[in-house]
């Protein structure tokens, strides 16, 4: 038998410089010479240390994002109930969403202009109209604010001016000054003398009959601007006259539009019931055609600038071109502002041959006739019953 241990030792002795077979690196050592090779193990410890750091960063980011979202949510919808009600918030003309946001912040309605601007953009809201908005609170949920803005502003503040049918120009002037105390009388007189209607005769500066009776909503900012107000009233008349066909209808009657307006002003004063308007107009035209005086007592009242239930004999003889008992033909101007119904009656008189009329009942109903004796009889009866006519 061979002693393996002895053989191995002998082999080692034969090669004293050789490393044992089970030691790595002998062959590499032979190839690389005297250089030493160092083996580095995988850096598992570094990865283990980096994992907690990454997790911390993620947590911090999530916290920051969460806090940011929480903050934005509180800007969009402040906690608690809406705050105090603020007075009207005014959005100027031409305001951008950013400028509107600044206005809302200045009034305390929203707390952050940039957040509100982005919120509006995300909702696809706007553009919002200029004007005054009420019903807003400080602060308030941005959703409610946008809902209110989308409804639009308040109607502009106005002052109501009521002009009934039949008023004289002097009465309209007094009513305007009474309604608008800040308006200067001289400024109003200047407006009445300079504003013109297209139906006013050349060379005239008298708007009698040319201010349309209506209810006017005058902007509060214009309450001391007489020119704008007078122009508004004249424009209203011109539009009504246009729609009534004043020019064409007057031409059919053989008179001027201004003369038709003058007839309408007398109809307004004399006809008490709607059904009598056309008949009163026909009496006027028939008397004009006959060349007899109109005998309209309302023209005498206008000449006197005095409204009365009964005119005296001396008043009926007043020397004035407006006195149609003394002078034949139409008065120089209208004697008040007729409404649309009287204007249409003057343009489309009821067919008939009547030349007289008189009020015969307390409701204002009138009796029409072409007989003077029948007129006189009806007039005497009305006077006896306490009803005055003419």
On whether residue 119 sits in a domain, the answer given is yes
Which helix (H) or strand (E) covers residue 49, if one does?
A: helix 44-76
Domain boundary residue, one of 150, 167, 198: 150
Enumerate residue ranges in the chain where pLDDT < 50: 1-29, 31-32, 389-390
Same domain, yes or no: 266 and 350: yes
Cβ neighbours around 267 below 10 Å, total? 30
Copy the structure tokens of residue 389: 């006519």
Copy the structure tokens of residue 207: 């708007």
DSSP code of residue 161:
E
End-to-end CA distance of the chain: 172
Copy the structure tokens of residue 274: 């709607």
Same domain, yes or no: 124 and 161: no
Residues in the chain: 390
Same domain, yes or no: 379 and 262: yes
On whether residue 336 sits in a domain, the answer given is yes
Same domain, yes or no: 369 and 276: yes
Same domain, yes or no: 95 and 129: yes
Query: What is the per-residue pLDDT for 52?
Result: 62
d(Cα 255, Cα 272) in Å, to the nearest integer?
A: 25
Same domain, yes or no: 191 and 171: yes
Enter the pTM of the model. 0.70
Query: What is the per-residue pLDDT for 38?
Result: 54
Which helix (H) or strand (E) covers residue 89, if one does?
A: strand 89-91
Same domain, yes or no: 288 and 165: no
On whether residue 219 sits in a domain, the answer given is yes
On whether residue 390 sits in a domain, the answer given is yes
Q: Which domain holds residue 324?
A: 253-390
Query: What is the per-residue pLDDT for 17?
Result: 44
Same domain, yes or no: 109 and 230: no
On whether residue 343 sits in a domain, the answer given is yes
On whether residue 40 sits in a domain, the answer given is no
d(Cα 25, Cα 18) in Å, to the nearest integer?
A: 11
Same domain, yes or no: 261 and 382: yes
Query: What is the per-residue pLDDT for 75?
Result: 64
What would the DSSP string read from start to end of 316-385?
Answer: HT---TT-TTTS-S--SS-SS---HHHHHHHHSPPP----EEEE-STT--EEEES-HHHHHHHHHHHHHT
Residues linked to residue 216 through DSSP beta bridges, in sequence order: 161
Domain boundary residue, one of 124, 150, 176: 150
Same domain, yes or no: 113 and 168: no
On whether residue 46 sits in a domain, the answer given is no
Query: What is the per-residue pLDDT for 157?
Result: 83
Query: What is the per-residue pLDDT for 83?
Result: 82
DSSP code of residue 90:
E
Same domain, yes or no: 92 and 128: yes
Cβ neighbours around 172 below 10 Å, total? 22
Closest CA to 365 of 279, 272, 298: 272
Query: What is the per-residue pLDDT for 376?
Result: 95
On whether residue 73 sits in a domain, the answer given is no
Domain boundary residue, one of 128, 150, 172: 150
Number of domains in the chain: 3
């Amino acid at each position: 038998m061979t002693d393996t241990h002895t053989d191995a030792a002998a082999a080692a002795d034969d090669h004293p410089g050789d490393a044992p077979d089970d030691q790595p690196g002998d062959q590499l050592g032979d190839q690389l010479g005297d250089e030493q090779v160092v083996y580095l193990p995988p850096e598992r410890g570094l990865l283990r240390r980096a994992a907690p750091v990454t997790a911390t960063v993620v947590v911090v980011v999530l916290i920051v994002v969460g806090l940011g979202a929480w903050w934005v949510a509180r800007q969009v919808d402040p906690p608690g109930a809406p705050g105090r009600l603020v007075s009207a918030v005014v959005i100027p003309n031409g305001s951008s969403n950013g400028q509107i946001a600044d206005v809302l912040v200045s009034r305390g309605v929203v707390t952050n202009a940039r957040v509100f601007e982005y919120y509006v953009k995300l909702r696809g809201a706007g553009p919002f109209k200029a004007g005054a908005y009420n019903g807003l609170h400080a602060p308030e949920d941005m959703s409610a604010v946008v809902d209110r803005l989308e409804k639009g502003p308040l109607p502009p503040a106005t002052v109501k001016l009521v002009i009934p049918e039949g008023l004289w120009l002097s009465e309209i002037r007094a009513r305007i000054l009474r309604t608008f105390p800040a308006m200067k009388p001289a400024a109003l007189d200047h407006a009445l003398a300079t504003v013109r209607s297209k139906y006013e005769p050349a060379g005239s500066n008298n708007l009698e009959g040319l201010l349309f009776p209506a209810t006017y909503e005058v902007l509060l900012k214009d309450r001391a601007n007489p020119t704008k107000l007078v122009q508004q009233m004249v424009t209203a008349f011109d539009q009504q006259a246009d729609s009534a066909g004043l020019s064409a209808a007057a031409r059919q009657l053989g008179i001027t539009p201004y003369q038709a307006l003058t007839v309408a002003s007398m109809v307004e004063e004399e006809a008490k019931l709607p059904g009598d308007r056309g008949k009163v107009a026909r009496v006027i035209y028939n008397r004009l055609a006959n060349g007899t005086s109109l005998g309209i007592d309302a023209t005498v009242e206008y000449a006197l600038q005095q409204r009365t239930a009964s005119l005296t004999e001396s008043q009926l003889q007043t020397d004035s071109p407006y006195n149609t008992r003394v002078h034949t033909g139409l008065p120089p101007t209208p004697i008040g502002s007729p409404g649309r119904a009287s204007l249409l009656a003057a343009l489309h008189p009821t067919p008939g041959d009547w030349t007289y009329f008189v009020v015969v009942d307390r409701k204002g109903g009138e009796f029409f006739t072409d007989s003077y004796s029948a007129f006189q009889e009806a007039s005497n009866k009305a006077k006896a019953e306490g009803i005055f006519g003419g």
